[in-house]
Amino acid sequence: MEFGEMNSGDAPSGRREFFKKGAQLAAGLAVSSSLPELLSGATQEPPHPQASTDFHREFPKGFCWGAATAAHQVEGNNVNSDLWLVEHLGQTMFPEPSGDACDHYHLYEQDIDMLAGFGLNAYRFSIEWARIEPEKGYFSRAELQHYRRMLEACHKRNLTPLVTYSHFTNPRWFAMDGGWENADSPALFANYCEKATRALGDLAAYATTFNEPNIGQLLHWASIGGDEGPGGSLAEKLDAAHDAVRQQVDAPHFSAFLFADAAKTRHNMLIAHEKGKAAIKSVRSNLPVGLTLAMADDQPAGTGGNVEKKRADVYGPWLKLARKDDYIGVQTYTRSIVGAKDLPPPAGAELTQMGYEFYPESLEHTIRYASKETGVPVIVTENGVATPDDKKRIEFIQRAVQGVGRCLAEGIDVRGYIHWSLMDNFEWIFGYMPKFGLVAVDRETQKRTPKPSATFLGDIAKKNAI
């Protein structure tokens, strides 16, 4: 079998089940069914507000309507990154390597053109530290120039570019030196932020230091006391995979963000955000800077439940930091019912390809929470659904965007809705199976085929109303 050919149908059922469970955990959903007492107290499922056809709302002038990607997931051949290395070792958690991905590295111009053609007015993408600084202290002018061309391609089409400096992957040398567990990591990151901003900052509209730096906490929380079958919780499996990598590459300190011990990395990442932001501002003081958070819509199981405890742990320090930022990026895919830990989706709930509950209203709930906690403008930097059925994507978008409309009506300062994702891409430890894209990609030919949902979202953008 060639790389990239594998799909969910090829995966042995044990592994398929394993990744499904992993997906639920990644979303903050517990997969254990060994908590009957908690389950019986679970929140009664509120009726889902269906998409209302008579809902009408104009969005504020200048509202960003866009789609997002991340370098490692779409560019292809991110060979100097930590995850490329991990993907090519045995005993890791990747069912398939990222490979050529969507070859966005070469096809960015046509992809950006396509995005603009739908009627969208914003593109969120990440620049890849592993390309820009492939060896410690060596910055590649050619790679910086590549990202400059991407930014210029956005401007040529009047698109607002939102630039993420770190979206999960890091340079291999950085991971070998301990990644975010290394006390020098904030200074190393700030140096990269400064160099990248010197080369690109004048063309960026928004800068994001980190994409979802709290994903590890979400994972960890979901696994507390977990009984996830052979091999333990997802967090334990990640640990085991990390140990295997350390042995195989003979790098005792190797630490890749997605596999790292979240408790050990958070401290340095909090500092790195502040230092990175200061570095960006030192070059362009008026460039809005923030971070994005992985957020579940946490709902209490019955009257008990650890929602507040979970929130304090998973989002607390980041939301506190974000109060001093220019905006907060909200990224929501589903809700979690929280008991002593996260519970499985309610019986009979409709599930997505990731095993998440199909629950578009989670977005408005997290927007309200993030806005209340931070007091800064909110940008929905990711929201979407993994489904092979594009009609469900359209329903998801409609209901989610109506929720954004309700938040605006309440006076919440929401600046944009950026859909995840522009195209079907490499979904980390789930490979290419989940379909999050507005556009399908044939990875043999790299042919793009827009789905009806692309036109649906584009039409909302063109009207700036729903």
In whole angstroms, give the CA distance from residue 170 to residue 382.
21
Which residues does residue 450 pair with via DSSP β-bridges, in sequence order? 439
Question: Are 387 and 353 contacting, i.e. CB atoms less than 8 angstroms apart?
Answer: yes
The residue among 222 and 294 lying less far from ligand BGC, judged by its C-beta, is 294
Please pick, from the candidates 177, 382, 395, 424, the single residue that binds ligand BGC as defined by CB under 6 A.
382
Give, to the nearest 10 degrees, the angle between helix 13-26 and helix 215-223.
110
Give the contact letters, 200-219, x = binds to ligand BGC (CB under 6 A), - = no: -----------xx-------
Query: What Å distances lie between residue 60 and 51, 277, 335, 369, CA to CA?
Result: 21, 27, 27, 21
Q: Which of 212, 228, 364, 427 is catalytic?
A: 212
**Which residues 404-423 are close enough to bind ligand BGC by CB under 6 A?**
420
Among candidate residues 168, 263, 181, the one with its CA nearest the CA of residue 221: 263
Does position 427 interact with ligand BGC (CB under 6 A)? The reply is yes
**Which residues 146-185 are close enough to bind ligand BGC by CB under 6 A?**
none
Instruction: Tell me the DSSP string of 29-66.
Output: -------HHHHHTPPP-PPPPPPPTT---BPPTT-EEE
Instruction: Give me the least distance between CB of 217 and ligand BGC, in Å please.
Output: 13
Among candidate residues 290, 293, 271, the one with its CA nearest the CA of residue 280: 290
Instruction: Give me the least distance between CB of 219 and ligand BGC, in Å please.
Output: 11
Give the contact letters, 316-345, x = binds to ligand BGC (CB under 6 A), - = no: ---------------x--------------
Instruction: Give me the least distance between CB of 135 and ligand BGC, in Å please.
Output: 26
The residue among 344 and 355 lying less far from ligand BGC, judged by its C-beta, is 355
Helix (H) or strand (E) holding 420: strand 414-420
Instruction: Give me the least distance between CB of 75 and ligand BGC, in Å please.
Output: 13
Q: Which residue has the tokens 């979206």?
A: 167
HSE at residue 452, side-chain half, CA atoms within 13 A, is: 10
**DSSP E strand boundaries for 171-263:** 206-211
With CB under 6 A, what is the number of residues at the site for ligand BGC?
10
The residue among 211 and 453 lying less far from ligand BGC, judged by its C-beta, is 211
The residue among 125 and 369 lying less far from ligand BGC, judged by its C-beta, is 125
In whole angstroms, give the CA distance from residue 219 to residue 95.
19
3-state secondary structure of 398: helix
**Positive or negative torsion for Cα 85, 259, 192, 64:** positive
Helix %, strand %, coil % for the chain, to 5? 45, 15, 40
Instruction: Give me the least distance between CB of 420 and ligand BGC, in Å please.
Output: 5
The residue among 27 and 39 lying less far from ligand BGC, judged by its C-beta, is 27
Among candidate residues 450, 346, 456, the one with its CA nearest the CA of residue 396: 456
In whole angstroms, give the CA distance from residue 342 to residue 340.
7
212 is catalytic: yes
Which residues does residue 327 pair with via DSSP β-bridges, in sequence order? 290
Instruction: Give me the least distance between CB of 212 and ligand BGC, in Å please.
Output: 5
Please pick, from the candidates 67, 70, 159, 162, the single residue that binds ligand BGC as defined by CB under 6 A.
70
Instruction: Give me the least distance between CB of 67 and ligand BGC, in Å please.
Output: 12
The residue among 166 and 331 lying less far from ligand BGC, judged by its C-beta, is 331
Instruction: Give me the least distance between CB of 331 and ligand BGC, in Å please.
Output: 6
The residue among 199 and 262 lying less far from ligand BGC, judged by its C-beta, is 262
| Dihedral angle, C-alpha 317, 426, 71, 448, nearest 10 ° | -130
Please pick, from the candidates 294, 385, 404, 460, the single residue that binds ligand BGC as defined by CB under 6 A.
294
- Catalytically annotated residues: 212
Which residues would be at the binding site for ligand BGC (CB under 6 A)? Answer: 70, 73, 211-212, 294, 331, 382, 420, 427, 436
